[in-house]
């Protein structure tokens, strides 16, 4: 039974998130329907990350098994044809080993959060970035962000409904950079807690506004209390950018 790995790009706006649910359309269900149309098989796919309602992806990874064997390019092109007009695209497909798992084989996940820092409303990027009209100090945000690097109890930045067994995570990278009106925040770790990136971004915004300093962010982290977190950044600015796997499993692309 061949196993396939696919890399997906999608606009999370029309979906209730990645995971299939009964209360609305999901990315998972859309892709599973496309696979069924191709192979005449009912399959359940596993994704590398369960993006929330409104969250986008530039490089979500999923895997699934089929009874039939298809060339990877056929899988990519046929799924894209059956996915239309949903804003979901299969960027690449590949055959992988039977023990490859999109979620559990991943060694690092990379998220991008985009802020557009201007007073004028968004026209082209509406629904794809967080518009913040007040001036933000991106350098101060970056300096403060470095205080969150390393292994910590991230309870402060964890959603109440998070199902992770432990709030302790290791944050490998958290960079803030400005390019004109855009402020981009890159976060990398093996895994994240539910809403961790959006929670950190919301707190960093307070630093950018001058309402918090780095020591306030560090104190919020040490407190390990959700009520010490800044406002939760909205989902439309968040992108699952890339998922890394060990070299022996990195065959799609």
- 103-121 burial by CB neighbour count: b if 16+ within 10 A, else e? eebbeebbbbbbbbbeeee
User: Residue 159 burial (CB < 10 Å; 0-12/13-18/19+)?
Assistant: middle
Which residue in the block uniquely carries the two structure tokens 């439309």?
236
C-alpha–C-alpha distance, residues 47 and 29, integer Å? 12
Q: Which of 52, 65, 99, 244 is catalytic?
A: 52
**Angle, vertex CA 82, rays to CA 80 and CA 88, nearest 5:** 50
Q: Is 40 left (phi over 0), alpha (psi -120 to 50) or beta?
A: left
CA atoms lying within 13 Å on the CB side of residue 253: 11
**Distances from the Cα of 228 to the Cα of 3, 232, 246, angstroms:** 44, 12, 37
52 is catalytic: yes
103 DSSP assignment: T
Catalytic site residues?
52
């Amino acid at each position: 039974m061949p196993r396939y790995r696919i890399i997906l790009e999608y606009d999370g706006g029309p979906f209730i998130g990645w995971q299939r649910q009964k209360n609305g359309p999901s990315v998972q269900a859309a892709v599973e329907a496309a696979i069924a149309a191709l192979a005449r098989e009912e399959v359940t796919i596993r994704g590398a990350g369960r993006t929330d309602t409104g969250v986008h992806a530039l490089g979500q990874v999923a895997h699934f098994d089929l009874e039939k064997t298809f060339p990877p390019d056929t899988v990519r092109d046929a799924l894209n044809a059956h996915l239309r007009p949903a804003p979901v695209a299969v960027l690449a497909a590949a055959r992988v080993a039977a023990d490859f798992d999109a979620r559990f084989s991943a060694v690092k996940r990379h998220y991008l959060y985009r802020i557009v820092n201007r007073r004028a409303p968004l026209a082209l990027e509406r629904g794809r970035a967080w518009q913040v009209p007040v001036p933000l100090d991106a350098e101060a945000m970056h300096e403060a962000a470095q205080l969150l690097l390393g292994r910590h109890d991230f309870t402060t930045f964890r959603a109440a409904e998070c199902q992770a067994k432990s709030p302790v995570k290791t944050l490998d990278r958290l960079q803030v950079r400005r390019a004109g009106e855009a402020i981009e925040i890159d976060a990398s770790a093996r895994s994240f807690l539910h809403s961790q990136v959006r929670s950190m971004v919301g707190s960093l915004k307070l630093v950018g506004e001058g309402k918090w300093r780095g020591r306030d962010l560090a104190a919020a982290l040490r407190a390990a209390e959700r009520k010490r977190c800044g406002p939760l950044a909205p989902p439309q600015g968040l992108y699952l950018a890339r998922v890394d796997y060990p070299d022996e499993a990195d065959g799609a692309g």
